[in-house]
């Protein structure tokens, strides 16, 4: 795969990552609305959403070089701040 094709593929993957992150954030909002934060189901659901987010990042890291990922993640860095609030480390 040439550099241009790889760049286009990475663009597509990063767009998908952003969509997945937004969907996970939306699900977190729904969980927060429907369950008290002290409820076991709330904690379990948030843990599972965080695990999904972390696994998406691991797949991304396995698919592209760390440099490519770092460059792209910088482009969506402000969105990552939101993800950190929803999925605290």
Question: Could you tell me which residues come within 8 angstroms of residue 64 by beta carbon, excluding any fewer than 6 positions away?
Answer: 6, 10, 13
Report yes or no: 46 and 31 within 8 Å, Cβ to Cβ. Answer: yes
Q: Which of 88, 80, 77, 89 is nearest to 22 (CA)?
A: 80
- The residue ranges of every structural domain in the chain are 3-86
Can you give the pLDDT of all 89 residues of the chain as single tens digits? 566 777 788 788 888 888 888 898 889 889 989 988 889 999 999 899 989 888 888 887 777 777 777 777 777 666 666 666 666 64
């Amino acid at each position: 795969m040439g550099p241009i094709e790889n760049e286009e593929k990475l663009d597509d993957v990063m767009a998908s990552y952003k969509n997945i992150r937004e969907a996970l954030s939306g699900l977190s909002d729904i969980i927060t609305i429907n369950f008290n934060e002290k409820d076991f189901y709330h904690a379990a659901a948030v843990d599972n959403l965080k695990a999904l987010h972390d696994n998406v990042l691991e797949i991304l890291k396995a698919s592209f070089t760390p440099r490519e990922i770092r460059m792209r993640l910088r482009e969506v860095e402000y969105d990552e701040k939101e993800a950190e609030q929803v999925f605290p480390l």
